[in-house]
Structure formats: structure tokens, C-alpha cells
Amino acid sequence: MLLTFPLTDDDRSFVEELFKEHRALFLNVARQILDSFAEAEDAVSEAMIRIITNLDKISALPRHKIRSYCIVIVRNCALARFRKAGEIPTEMSIAVNDSLIQPEEAFLEQEQAKELQDIIRALSREERMLLQLRYVDDANYKEIADILGITEETARKRTERILRKLRELLKKDRHNG
């Protein structure tokens, strides 16, 4: 794989040295995220391709920092594979893509989504942060509490309060629709 890229001799030996020296470590990092060797190896290969194709950026780093940054790249590749493998279509996308859904219903759902987004935009910064941690970052209440510097109980109560508010709105819209 390494030889298929048009590299200078110096670049090639740099990449080979990097790979030989840290292959086990890279695999170990990827394996901590992924279930199988094959997946971990694929993630490391993907990371190596990224490194090779962006060698100018990597080799510009101080020597002692290269290994650390390569680990960051390997972990990122492994994580992307992990997320991709576990990707489950959301209920909303199923609903929108479902051919059985009536056009009026799809329109109502889109309107409802827009309204919901408006309400989220109007929330306080702290409330939006709670939702972001919960739904964008998939953090649990303990993690939310530690990141925001509040107690777990407070994080849970505040999040539930916002969600109750949003669910009420959805319920109301359904009845109206």
C-alpha cells in the first residue's frame, strides 16, 4: 500500500519508519474503539493514507509531536468507522423517506420541525447546551454534569424540564394538525 503513492525516497522512508515503529500502537488505539482486528487494520490503513497524502502537513510538525498527532488521526478514523457501522436511520428520516407517507403529512412534519427548531433557538444558552450535550454529543447525565459543572441531578432535572416543554409542543401540534 505504501509504495503506490508517488513519494520521494525520503518521504517513503519517513512513512515506513513511522509505520514500522508505531504500527502496534496504532492498531492498539484503533482496537480500543473497534471490535475486530480487520476493522482496526482498515482504520489504521485509512489513517496512513491520510498521512501519506498530507505528508507536507505532518512532516512540518516537530518530530516529537508526529507520533501523538498520528494517534489522533488513527483514533479519528477508527471512530468514524465505528459510527458508520452503528449508523441507524433516525425515525424522522424513515418517516420522510417512506413512500407510504401522504404529502400533507410530510408537509406538516416539516413545518413542525421548523417550529421546533425556532423554539430551540429561543432557549437560553444553558438550555441549548444541555440539549446539545444530550442529543449532539450523546452524553449521559453524569458527563453533562461534569462538563457543565453542575450536579447530575440538576442536569437530569433541567434536561427533562426542557424536553417536557418540547414534547408538549409536539403533542399540541399533533392535536391541532
Partner 1 sequence: MDKEQLQDSVIRNAVNAVFEEEVRLLDGSADDPREEIRLTDDQVADLCKRILLLREDIRSLFFSKYCFHLDREAMIALLDAERPDGRLRCYENFLSYAMLSDDTKRISADSFERACHAALQRDIPVEEPVTTTQKKRKKRQKRILSKVWKSVAAVFIVISAGFLLAFTTNAEFRGKVINWYLTTFRQNSVVQPETDDAVTMEHLREYRPSYMPERYRLVETLEAERWIVYGYQDDEAKMLDITLQIPGVISSIDTQGLEMKTLLFHDEIAYLVTGGEGYGTFVFSVDGIPVLIDGYASPEEMLQIAEGIGN
Binding-site ranges for partner 1 (CB under 8 A): 20-25, 27-29, 31, 37, 50-51, 53-54, 57-58, 61, 65, 67-69, 71-73, 75-77, 79-80, 90-93, 109, 112-113, 116-117, 120-121, 125-126, 128-129, 131-132, 134-139, 143, 146-149, 163, 166-167, 170-171
Identity of the residue, 99 or 136, whose beta carbon is nearer to partner 1 in the bound complex: 136
Identity of the residue, 126 or 153, whose beta carbon is nearer to partner 1 in the bound complex: 126
C-alpha distances in Å from residue 154, one per residue of 116, 122, 142, 151: 24, 21, 10, 5
* C-alpha gyration radius of the chain: 23
Contacts of 17 by beta carbon, 8 Å cutoff, 6+ apart: none
Q: How far is the CB of 76 from partner 1 (least distance, A)?
A: 5
Quick check: 139 and 147 in contact, CB under 8 A?
Answer: yes
CA 55, distance to chain mean position in Å, is: 25
Q: How far is the CB of 49 from partner 1 (least distance, A)?
A: 11
